[in-house]
Amino acid sequence: MRADDNWDARYAEYRQTQAWRQRCALVRKRERDTCQGCMQAFGQHVHHLTYARVGDELLTDLVLYCQSCHERAHGRSATSPQWPASADWTPLQLRRT
């Protein structure tokens, strides 16, 4: 169980902000729009390698994946559409105040 039951909602809200869009643009530029999982497909998803600094990410906390590699990174496949259970973590910017 996460320490903060409202984390998902605040994370979704954060992903709509200008700050998140700017980080995504920088990651896409760095990766030249290429998936870093397969190095072949167009990168569609900016993925957190860690949630420790959500809201104040280092660019090295983020990687660009195509749809297939993004699903693999989350342990999903076409035959298993469920997201895995989440670990306990409380991102810096999304903690209760």
Q: Can you give the pTM of this predicted structure?
A: 0.73
Question: Cβ(63)–Cβ(71) under 8 Å?
Answer: no
Amino acid at 15: R
Question: Band of the pLDDT at 76, cuts 50, 70, 90?
Answer: confident
Tens of pLDDT, residues 8-64? 999 999 999 999 999 999 999 999 999 999 999 999 999 999 999 999 999 999 999
Question: Cβ(88)–Cβ(55) under 8 Å?
Answer: no
Domain ranges of the chain: 7-73
Higher per-residue confidence, 78 vs 39: 39
